[in-house]
């Protein structure tokens, strides 16, 4: 039996950070073939080769503002913005393509419109924080230690220093994984010591995250932020700002040790994080089985 032909994929937002990673991942997968790349009209990346834009060699696929000609069975992959995504999926349905949608921020009406298109074509719409471009910031390694001390409050300057040291940039829509090394306390000492206090973000980092339009933050401690906070009037101020004021998703108790070792070995600190949530009505948290793909 001859092997199946690779599935053609069209990637929306191909010049953005998520789009570039999707192009690279699709290119590396023999079961997929990039046949189209989309960007908004007027985008400076229009006309450039999608493969070269993603940091590799030419693919022979120019980034365009219009849907390419591709046969039924092609799959659109879209992690852009609600309005463009809805337009793209409608066009894909008219062409008989399938679609994978990772975009978030839809209104109820837009969600209904997207989901109704699933009656016409194969369509997967990922839950919020299910999949995203992710940057590991290894602050423990920045300081040359296995684990930060319990009272270490991480400031914006340390996030900048970690980015510089690792040669990465944190941009709009990214997920940040923060390594403090605190997992080792649970593993090597005791759960009681792990829960008593922790190193983590200070409230000054909230502005840093906001300015970069970060989508979510996950850490290897139990509360993301330094605890105790040092402010008797604000027990967990980072939570107050990120969740209450910014609507940001937080991830806690991530085991980042193996990932950190791998990133340090090959110098690549950007990964694709897959962390689908349980859809539980009225819940404020969910267990995860997160996977980092490099």
pTM, two decimals, is 0.64
pLDDT at 130: 58
Contact between 71 and 35 under an 8 Å Cβ cutoff? The reply is no
3-state secondary structure the chain: CCCCCCEEEEEECCCCHHHHHHHHHHHHCCCEEEEEEECCCCCCCCCCEHHHHCCCCCCCCEEECCCCCCCCCCEEEECCCHHHHHHHHHHHHHHCCEEEECCCCCCHHHHHHHHHHCCCCCEEECCCCCEEEEEEEEHHHHCCCCCCCCCCEECHHHHHHHHHHHCCCCCCCCEEEEECCCHHHHHHCCHHHHHHCECEECCCHHHHHHHCCCCEEEECCCCCECECCCCCCCCCHHHHHHHHHCCCEEECCCCCHHHHHHHHHHCCCEEEEECCCCCCCCCCCCCCCCEEEC
pLDDT at 1: 46
| Tens-digit pLDDT profile for residues 90-143 | 999 999 999 999 887 788 899 899 999 999 999 988 755 456 789 999 999 999
Contact between 31 and 9 under an 8 Å Cβ cutoff? The reply is no
Going along the chain from its start, the domains and CATH numbers come out as 7-125 (3.40.50.720), 131-293 (3.50.30.50)
| Tens-digit pLDDT profile for residues 174-221 | 999 999 999 999 999 999 999 999 999 999 999 999 999 898 999 999
Q: How far apart are CA 283 and CA 273, in angstroms?
A: 22
| Tens-digit pLDDT profile for residues 225-247 | 999 999 999 999 999 999 988 88
Give the total residue count for the chain. Answer: 294
pLDDT tops 50 at residue 23: yes
């Amino acid at each position: 039996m001859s092997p199946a032909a690779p599935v053609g994929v069209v990637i929306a937002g191909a010049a953005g950070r998520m789009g570039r990673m999707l192009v690279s991942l699709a290119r590396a997968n023999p079961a997929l073939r990039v046949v189209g790349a989309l960007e908004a009209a007027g985008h400076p990346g229009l006309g450039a080769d999608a493969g070269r834009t993603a940091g590799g060699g030419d693919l022979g696929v120019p980034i365009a503002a219009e849907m390419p000609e591709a046969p039924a069975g092609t799959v659109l992959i879209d992690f852009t913005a609600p309005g463009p995504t809805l337009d793209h999926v409608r066009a894909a349905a008219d062409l008989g393509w399938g679609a994978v949608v990772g975009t978030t921020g839809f209104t109820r009406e837009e969600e209904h419109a997207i989901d109704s298109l699933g009656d016409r074509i194969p369509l997967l719409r990922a839950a919020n924080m299910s999949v995203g471009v992710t940057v590991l910031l290894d602050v423990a390694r920045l300081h040359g230690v296995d684990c930060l001390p319990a009272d270490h409050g991480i400031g914006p300057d340390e996030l900048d220093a970690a980015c510089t040291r690792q040669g990465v940039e944190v941009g709009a829509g990214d997920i940040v994984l923060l390594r403090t090394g605190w997992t080792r306390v649970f593993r090597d000492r005791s759960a009681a010591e792990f829960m008593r206090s922790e190193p983590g973000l200070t409230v000054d980092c909230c502005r840093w995250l906001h300015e970069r339009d970060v989508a979510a933050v996950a850490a290897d401690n139990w509360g993301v932020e330094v605890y105790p906070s040092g402010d008797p009037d604000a027990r967990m101020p980072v939570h107050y700002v990120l969740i209450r004021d910014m609507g940001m998703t937080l991830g806690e108790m991530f085991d980042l040790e193996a990932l950190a070792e791998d990133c340090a070995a090959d110098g690549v600190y950007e990964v694709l994080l897959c962390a689908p949530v349980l859809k539980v009505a009225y819940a404020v948290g969910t267990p995860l089985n997160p996977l980092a793909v490099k």
